[in-house]
Amino acid sequence: NNAGVGHVGPVESVGLEEMKKIFETNFFGVVRMIRALLPEMKRRRSGHIVVVSSVMGLQGVVFNDVYAASKFAVEGFCESLAVQLLQFNV
């Protein structure tokens, strides 16, 4: 599960619609893929979810504000999900 689009430049150079597109791909793309496969993994009580994020999901980088924010969102989502899915052996 890997998605990544971004915009390099100061935050004031990125319109809100462009920010939404970045989150739509980088965060909601990951969420949609996981949601599509998760019911079957839970039913089987096994599975692995592999998400390729970015170092910018752990540390922001100058002029990559929105990209970093979208990857931080992925990291937080996956950390929370991992705890929830332990009971399903996923």
Known catalytic residues are 67
Distance between CA atoms of 52 and 36, rounded to whole angstroms? 17
Query: Which residues are 52's β-sheet partners?
Result: 2
Is 70:51 a contact under the CB 8 Å cutoff? no
Residue listed under structure tokens 């150079």: 13
